[in-house]
Chain A
Amino acid sequence: MRSRLPPTKPFLGKKIDGYPNHVIQNLVGSGHNGHVFRAFDESTESKLAFKVVPFNNLAVDKDQQQVYLNEAKKANVLQHPAVVKYHNVVPYLVPDTSIKCVVFVCDYVEGKNLRDYIRQKRSDIDISFIEKFLLTMFGLLYELKQRKYQHGDLHAGNILVAISDFDMDAQPNFWVTDFGIRELTGSTADTNDYLHIARILKELLECLDYRDCGGCDRYVYNILKQDFLDRHLTESDTTIDPLACNPRALANKLRSLSDKYQTTTNETTVAKLTTPFDYPNCEQIGNSNLLLKNLYSDRLLGLSDIQARSNLMLTGPRGCGKTTVFRALSLEYLIATNNDNPNDINYIGIYYRCDDLYFSFPRYKLPKRTAALDVPMHFLIVTLLATALEQIGVWAKKYFPNEFKKKEEALVADLQGLFGWVQSGSPSEGQLATIVAKLKKERKRAAEKQRFAHVLSQPIKGYFEPGIMIEACQLIRNNFSFFLQNRPFHFFIDDYSHPKITQELQANLNRLFMHRSADVFFKLSTESPVSFARHDIDDKKFVEGREFDFINLGLRYITGKSNRLLEFLEDLFSRRFHEVTGYPIQTLEQLLGSKRRNENETARAFRKKKDRENYAYKETVAAMCSGDIHYIIRLVSRMVDDYGGEDALKASNAVPRIPPSQQHRSIRAAAGAFMESIRTLPGKGPQLTEAVTAFGNVAHSYLLYETSTNEESKPPHQASRIEPYGTLRLSDEAQEILNELLRYSVLIEDPRGKSSRGNIVPRFYLRRYLIPHFHLTFSRRDSLQLENHQIESLLCEPKTFEKMMSRGDPNQEDLFLDE
């Protein structure tokens, strides 16, 4: 058939009967049966498509123009907007030849056919493109079914992908041509339109790399492959598959896939607790936002400061709830838990966990060439923007669908302009989902480029500087001003901690995170004050109170009012007890009882070696908390286990249910186990254990043999913190060990301590969880006041320190020589 096609050149510049002003300008494409030309009328600036088919390629008798017209009319009856309409059918003799043809005059659609599109723009095809294609086709098939008509020759060559820069409404961007051509050309190939669509679907799915798709797209891919391709579109027996040849049902199923994914995800994520102590930390809860909602207590200390309009550095021991609070303040969580009413949303919270950065930029070092600096910055920016746009899209479609629809394309165009991205002409280009997918692809580009950042022959171009992020956020807010005007962005960046996120990577990214602006704020959580680099790549120092606020949750819990802490823990445990149906305990007090702690009395009891329950009741559990809620949950869990578990709790009505003596034993054992876990920490675990043991033992000896000063009642000396006499100056080795103790929150730093000599010095609190291990009290009155060389010794030669500093008898003096 193709061999019968006439040469194309004689057509150019020519006109056909009935269209005196339309000049054939160029060949658009050639198929098996004919050529398609673009004809243009300058006087009206109108375009038409002339499909030229030689008589020899037509099955019906020659010269029966009416037959052709009838076929064309059939297509024109169709109302679906994707149908390319016929204007006329005109016989035509190719100039200077004897070749007779028929010219089908049709609407001209600016664009290219799907076959060429797949060939040329393969990487622009994504799941939303395929979904849009299928929905258009199902709409068309629906009408064809109602009219008992079929196209009969659907293939990627006669489906057009429309390119319009001015498409404001919902016109379809896929168009179908060549209705009736099959009848006219007498093609004997399979006529089932569903099979043809299946074939095109396969071609489209082959354009995707499953491994690069996001979760929902993977799910849709699998359903399209397993259900649509292998069943619905290829099965014609409706008794075997009710969706076969049922375009409405197919469209409905396709539209429901995103929701189905969400439902399936929820079904497979953790949904409820089997004991009140399951999932003690937020990461284990995973994406189960509903469970998080039930377990999250808004009595968390420091919450209002975290939500303030400022950049923030949040620290605290592992398990102190940093992740929980960050996630609970994110838009994603609020949407998932139906707490996303616009009246209650004061800012757009976007959660990001830095594991993702660590995986792509492990052991990051600053590159020698400046251009490479922006590679991780680019990775971060595209990631945060993709997440933000995704969440805003979901939220806005729910509450502001019209405003969202009005502005979606404009925003996408603005962002493309800002990023310097060339428009692809994809039908789904104006959608937020498409730019999100594109941003996610950029993540891969940046991560792969980083591997070769040091190779000078590798060009580095098109990576975003920090300013792009701020500008992009402004564009989002400007375009969506209807619902974002008074809502700044809060980016919650979780676990931004050295050494995973190296100091050099932090210095690089701090160019963005420490940027001060009116409506974009970065809230960073880091595991300790020493795991955050307070500078940028130009060694600009960032100052607390100027570039960022600083909250150490550990310190808040240690120095905060004990009743607020207790209230928080009681709320937290009540939520957990209530979450397990039929659990025999409903409150912490029921379980552990209540007794106000008297630390002086406890200390005196230690001196008298009285065998009593020094560590029991809910007040003790609260006192042991340095913000490390995760450990407190595990501690209470351990108490229940040691007591005999849920069955034992059910078997008694006593209050407290767990006897104080049992509580005391469990607490001591848990504290001991924690000491052991320090030993197995990566790196300097054993050294940390020795240092903290030396401190604990010396503090205990002080409790036994020293008296607290400035107290009339002469209580025993009760130190659980180190207080340097003066400015701390340590060797590198000692500083490294101190940093590790702080990193793992074995010690918790209060940077604004005041020494007995009146200096502002950092003080170091022993983690409260360890206090029972060393037979200390929770009193915050005394400190172990140490000179620099003593602290040096404690850290580097802990056994010597212990020997020298321990109070074996009341008359023993400090054996260190002053330096």
Chain B
Amino acid sequence: MNSHISENSLLRPDEKLSNVVWPSLQEIAFPSLGTDDCLLVCAGFEDRAIETLRRTCEAGRTGFSLGIIKYRPRYSQNRIEELRTIGQSADLRVDEFVYDRKNPSGMGEKLRSFTQKQEFDRVFIDISGMSRLLIVQILVALISEQSWPISLIYGEAEEYPPSKDEFEQDNKDGNTKPAPSYLSSGIFEIAATPELSSVSMLGEAIRLVAFPSFAHEQLSNLIQELQPTYTEFIHGIPPYQKNEWRKDAINTLNSLTLKELRGKKEHNASTLDYRETLHRLLKIYAERSMFDRLVIAPTGSKMQAVAVGLFRSVLHDVQIVYPTPQTFPKPDKYTSGFRQLYQIDLPTEAIKACARSSAD
């Protein structure tokens, strides 16, 4: 074998992405924001939505730029006022953006143009209170153009709904009531946005990759609307033993939908360590991208949505869809408390190098 060819052997973008050294999640007390940095944070209603900002400011960090993303439709419980107050007290430069869940197109571009104009040293993205679709949108928009470092901040909640007791009570044998949907209920639509769309693989069968969750309506609606030929499900494995029951519970909740599907493939990946999901997606891509039109619905955990975002920032031939919830439960039915803050410094340059094709 002649070495000079193999040494520089040709790599597809997914193979390059697979070779990137992906950093693990680093436990932090608060992110080290400097005055030339920016923090993007979502005004959700969970406890953890404000925790990153609160801890950063309490640690004496001031003067940085704060981008607050407000949700539409608005929920009175959203913690926008708390974010504003903390921002004002810490003397932050605050900009606000509206993210309309029912018309999500273009949000990534808005934030990209904001960060580009300001030329920050580093952009910190707090995904703790962020919609999964928005996580993907932001990562795709910022990584593709950004020339400065990006760090992700993730606040892990103490408790995730439903509790084991609640679930068992609701799903007892003989309970004839419809299965409750815990994280959200109803589906507004299966959202697609032009920036996460792909024209590749015209006419080929759809292979849907989705993440079953406690919001079982998301999965059933995805199947109903997209009618995929093939399905691959990535089941989330919680990082803590006390939550291990959740995987089986989610399976039970989605069993009606799962049971009917022929030719499905099932995988497991951590809900916290995004690398497992990323490598799983890359494997699916390597095996199937020449046969099927890949469609991914980031319906799993937020860190799994991060994996989808990183994946899609390079593989623009993959279609992203998201079953937008109709309504959310009251905040007391959502995550509560705060367990740990994590930071990931993304290897932005390496990812961009994967995204660049030799053809460019």
A464 to chain B, nearest CB (A): 16
B112 to chain A, nearest CB (A): 13
B356 to chain A, nearest CB (A): 10
A residues in contact with B357, CB < 8 Å: 208-211
Residue in B186, B197, B205, B359 whose beta carbon sits within 8 Å of that of A207 in the complex: B359
In the complex, whether B226 has a CB less than 8 A from a CB of chain A is yes
In the complex, whether B315 has a CB less than 8 A from a CB of chain A is yes
Inter-chain CA distance A281–B262, complex, in Å, is 11
Question: B290 contacts A287, CB within 8 Å?
Answer: no
Question: A234 contacts B6, CB within 8 Å?
Answer: yes
Question: A283 contacts B227, CB within 8 Å?
Answer: yes
In the complex, whether A206 has a CB less than 8 A from a CB of chain B is yes
Residue in B13, B106, B193, B291 whose beta carbon sits within 8 Å of that of A265 in the complex: B291
B residues in contact with A236, CB < 8 Å: 2
In the complex, whether A810 has a CB less than 8 A from a CB of chain B is no
Per-residue interface assignment for chain B, residues 190 to 226, with 1 indicating a CB less than 8 Å from any chain A CB and 0 otherwise: 1111110111111111100000000001001100011
Question: A269 contacts B359, CB within 8 Å?
Answer: no
Question: A451 contacts B178, CB within 8 Å?
Answer: no
Query: Which residue of the partner chain B has the closest CB to A211?
Result: B317
Question: A211 contacts B178, CB within 8 Å?
Answer: no
Query: Which residue of the partner chain A has the closest CB to B203?
Result: A387
B225 to chain A, nearest CB (A): 8
B residues in contact with A379, CB < 8 Å: 199
A26-34, A38-46, A351-359, A654-662: which lies at the B interface? A351-359
A residues in contact with B200, CB < 8 Å: 211-214
A residues in contact with B205, CB < 8 Å: 269, 286-287
Residue in A210, A274, A383, A682 whose beta carbon sits within 8 Å of that of B202 in the complex: A383
Question: A363 contacts B202, CB within 8 Å?
Answer: no
Inter-chain CA distance A469–B320, complex, in Å, is 30
B residues in contact with A206, CB < 8 Å: 10, 358-359
Which residues 673-711 in A have Cβ within 8 Å of B in the complex? 676, 679-680, 682-683, 685
Per-residue interface assignment for chain A, residues 200 to 233, with 1 indicating a CB less than 8 Å from any chain B CB and 0 otherwise: 0010011111111111001100100100011101
B residues in contact with A234, CB < 8 Å: 1-2, 5-6
Given A284-B262, A386-B202: A229 and B290 within 8 A (CB)? no
B179 to chain A, nearest CB (A): 10
Question: A230 contacts B199, CB within 8 Å?
Answer: no
In the complex, whether A268 has a CB less than 8 A from a CB of chain B is yes
A350 to chain B, nearest CB (A): 10
Question: A286 contacts B192, CB within 8 Å?
Answer: no
Q: Chain B, interface size: which category?
A: 35 or more
Question: A202 contacts B1, CB within 8 Å?
Answer: no
Question: B290 contacts A219, CB within 8 Å?
Answer: yes
Which residues 262-290 in B have Cβ within 8 Å of A in the complex? 262-263, 289-290
In the complex, whether A443 has a CB less than 8 A from a CB of chain B is yes
Residue in B5, B197, B217 whose beta carbon sits within 8 Å of that of A230 in the complex: B5
B308 to chain A, nearest CB (A): 16
Question: A685 contacts B197, CB within 8 Å?
Answer: no
In the complex, whether B241 has a CB less than 8 A from a CB of chain A is no
Question: A283 contacts B228, CB within 8 Å?
Answer: yes
Inter-chain CA distance A210–B17, complex, in Å, is 14
Inter-chain CA distance A479–B248, complex, in Å, is 61
Query: Which residue of the partner chain A has the closest CB to B319?
Result: A359
In the complex, whether A306 has a CB less than 8 A from a CB of chain B is no
In the complex, whether A512 has a CB less than 8 A from a CB of chain B is no
Query: Which residue of the partner chain B has the closest CB to A192?
Result: B2
Question: A122 contacts B359, CB within 8 Å?
Answer: yes
Inter-chain CA distance A131–B48, complex, in Å, is 56
Question: B194 contacts A202, CB within 8 Å?
Answer: no
Inter-chain CA distance A361–B8, complex, in Å, is 40
Residue in A229, A283, A363, A451 whose beta carbon sits within 8 Å of that of B195 in the complex: A451
Query: Which residue of the partner chain B has the closest CB to A495?
Result: B227
Inter-chain CA distance A123–B203, complex, in Å, is 23
Inter-chain CA distance A215–B207, complex, in Å, is 13
Per-residue interface assignment for chain B, residues 281 to 323, with 1 indicating a CB less than 8 Å from any chain A CB and 0 otherwise: 0000000011100000000000000000000000111010100
Given A207-B359, A234-B5: A360 and B188 within 8 A (CB)? no
Given A230-B5, A676-B178: A359 and B228 within 8 A (CB)? no
In the complex, whether B163 has a CB less than 8 A from a CB of chain A is no
Per-residue interface assignment for chain B, residues 156 to 182, with 1 indicating a CB less than 8 Å from any chain A CB and 0 otherwise: 000000000000000000000010000
Which residues 271-322 in A have Cβ within 8 Å of B in the complex? 274, 278-279, 281, 283-287
B residues in contact with A451, CB < 8 Å: 106, 194-195
In the complex, whether A389 has a CB less than 8 A from a CB of chain B is no
In the complex, whether A519 has a CB less than 8 A from a CB of chain B is no
Inter-chain CA distance A261–B326, complex, in Å, is 43
A286 to chain B, nearest CB (A): 3
Given A283-B229, A286-B229, A363-B105: A215 and B191 within 8 A (CB)? no
In the complex, whether B103 has a CB less than 8 A from a CB of chain A is yes
SS class of chain A's interface: helix, strand, loop or mixed?
helix
B residues in contact with A210, CB < 8 Å: 12-13, 357
Residue in B8, B12, B178, B262 whose beta carbon sits within 8 Å of that of A679 in the complex: B178
In the complex, whether A392 has a CB less than 8 A from a CB of chain B is no
Given A209-B357, A283-B228: A235 and B1 within 8 A (CB)? yes
Question: A270 contacts B262, CB within 8 Å?
Answer: yes
Residue in B9, B229, B315, B358 whose beta carbon sits within 8 Å of that of A284 in the complex: B229
B336 to chain A, nearest CB (A): 27
Inter-chain CA distance A215–B204, complex, in Å, is 8
Which residues 163-204 in A have Cβ within 8 Å of B in the complex? 190, 192, 195, 198-199, 202
Per-residue interface assignment for chain A, residues 68 to 83, with 1 indicating a CB less than 8 Å from any chain B CB and 0 otherwise: 0000000000000000
Question: A447 contacts B199, CB within 8 Å?
Answer: yes
Question: B5 contacts A268, CB within 8 Å?
Answer: no
Question: A447 contacts B289, CB within 8 Å?
Answer: no
A267 to chain B, nearest CB (A): 10
B residues in contact with A235, CB < 8 Å: 1
A residues in contact with B199, CB < 8 Å: 356, 359-360, 379, 440, 443-444, 447
Residue in A230, A269, A363 whose beta carbon sits within 8 Å of that of B6 in the complex: A230
A residues in contact with B321, CB < 8 Å: 359
Which residues 340-360 in B have Cβ within 8 Å of A in the complex? 357-360
A residues in contact with B217, CB < 8 Å: 680
Most chain B CB within a 10 A radius of its CB, from A264, A362, A451, A683: A362
B residues in contact with A57, CB < 8 Å: none
B110 to chain A, nearest CB (A): 13
In the complex, whether B230 has a CB less than 8 A from a CB of chain A is yes
Given A268-B291, A281-B227: A680 and B220 within 8 A (CB)? yes
In the complex, whether A499 has a CB less than 8 A from a CB of chain B is yes
In the complex, whether A718 has a CB less than 8 A from a CB of chain B is no
Per-residue interface assignment for chain B, residues 80 to 104, with 1 indicating a CB less than 8 Å from any chain A CB and 0 otherwise: 0000000000000000000000010
Inter-chain CA distance A487–B316, complex, in Å, is 38
Inter-chain CA distance A284–B326, complex, in Å, is 27
Which residues 127-143 in B have Cβ within 8 Å of A in the complex? none
Given A206-B359, A682-B189: A212 and B317 within 8 A (CB)? yes
In the complex, whether A113 has a CB less than 8 A from a CB of chain B is no
Question: A230 contacts B9, CB within 8 Å?
Answer: yes
In the complex, whether B249 has a CB less than 8 A from a CB of chain A is no
- Using A287-B229, A676-B178 as known contacts, list a sample of 6 further A-B pairs with CB atoms less than 8 Å apart, ordered by residue number in A: A229-B5, A265-B291, A281-B227, A362-B194, A683-B186, A683-B188
The 5 closest A-B pairs by CB, nearest first: A286-B229, A283-B227, A286-B205, A206-B358, A218-B290
A-B contact pairs, 28 of them (CB 8 A): A123-B359, A206-B10, A208-B357, A214-B202, A215-B291, A218-B289, A229-B5, A234-B6, A236-B2, A261-B290, A264-B291, A269-B205, A283-B206, A283-B227, A284-B227, A284-B263, A355-B226, A359-B197, A362-B105, A383-B202, A387-B203, A440-B199, A443-B202, A447-B199, A634-B260, A680-B217, A682-B225, A683-B187
What is A's interface to B at a CB cutoff of 8 Å? Answer: 122-123, 190, 192, 195, 198-199, 202, 205-215, 218-219, 222, 225, 229-231, 233-236, 261, 264-265, 268-270, 274, 278-279, 281, 283-287, 332, 351-353, 355-356, 358-363, 379, 383, 386-387, 440, 443-444, 447, 450-451, 499-500, 634, 676, 679-680, 682-683, 685
